Chains A and B, each alone.
Chain A
Amino acid sequence: SAVISQKPSRDICQRGTSLTIQCQVDSQVTMMFWYRQQPGQSLTLIATANQGSEATYESGFVIDKFPISRPNLTFSTLTVSNMSPEDSSIYLCSVDGPLEWETQYFGPGTRLLVL
């Protein structure tokens, strides 16, 4: 599968600030996804990021709170804006393929704690 890295791996932030999470893939992929995993919960899709188009957000997630960039086929960023303690979660990026299409492979995640 593709090698997927995320930066930072973890961070502690103050409420009201913003954090940008980077996701880098070692091969070109069309579809990238951002998920949130709240403490003790399952994963929920935030948005789908395709290169060359605006990100598509799921119900309950808005661009002002979670702006996403997808400048090329190997990179994406997710910003968590104006953070509150409720944003404390693990944020994971995933990609479709390329080892097997219509299969998602995940990055290691970013553990965020908001105080």
Chain B
Amino acid sequence: AQTVTQSQPEMSVQEAETVTLSCTYDTSENNYYLFWYKQPPSRQMILVIRQEAYKQQNATENRFSVNFQKAAKSFSLKISDSQLGDTAMYFCAFMRGSQGNLIFGKGTKLSVKP
């Protein structure tokens, strides 16, 4: 069975600085997808970034980028130039290719301080 582990329950960062959130996963699959979702206090789950396992290139979306280490089964999220609006819970998630269902980590609560 697949598992997703986020070892940092809480983190904080100063505004405009860079922070990295960690995620590791366990799977025997070769075809899968990895995601980071953001859940602000509104509780809306917002897709931050998506990575396809067969792509070696790390995904980037504006200030958000990932460090995908397939052999190590590691998928960290880097947030550059942190903004107050980045304050939220961040969930790492795994999806087996064509399976559909997401398996979530326990989340990391990120606080961006002015």
Stretch at the interface among A16-24, A69-77, A96-104: A96-104
Tell me which of A33, A42, A48, A103 contacts B33 (CB under 8 A). A103
A17: shortest Cβ distance to chain B, in Å?
Answer: 23
- Please, how many angstroms separate the alpha-carbon atoms of A99 and B44 in the complex? 18
Say whether A33 contacts B100, CB under 8 Å. yes
Provided the pairs A43-B104, A48-B100, A103-B33 are in contact, do residues A109 and B43 lie with their beta carbons within 8 angstroms? Answer: yes
Is A55 in contact with chain B by the CB < 8 A criterion?
Answer: no
Provided the pairs A42-B91, A103-B50, A104-B102 are in contact, do residues A92 and B45 lie with their beta carbons within 8 angstroms? Answer: yes
> What residues of chain A lie closer than 8 Å to B101, measured between beta carbons?
33, 45, 48, 58
- Please, how many angstroms separate the alpha-carbon atoms of A18 and B101 in the complex? 26
Say whether A109 contacts B44, CB under 8 Å. yes
Is A111 in contact with chain B by the CB < 8 A criterion?
Answer: yes
Say whether B44 contacts A31, CB under 8 Å. no
Is A67 in contact with chain B by the CB < 8 A criterion?
Answer: no
- Please, how many angstroms separate the alpha-carbon atoms of A58 and B104 in the complex? 14
Say whether A108 contacts B43, CB under 8 Å. yes
> What residues of chain A lie closer than 8 Å to B42, measured between beta carbons?
108
Tell me which of A42, A103, A109 contacts B104 (CB under 8 A). A42
Is A1 in contact with chain B by the CB < 8 A criterion?
Answer: yes
> What residues of chain B lie closer than 8 Å to A33, measured between beta carbons?
100-102
Mark interface residues in A27-54 (1 if CB within 8 Å of B CB, else 0): 0000101010100011111001000000
> What residues of chain B lie closer than 8 Å to A100, measured between beta carbons?
50
> What residues of chain B lie closer than 8 Å to A66, measured between beta carbons?
none
Say whether A105 contacts B105, CB under 8 Å. no
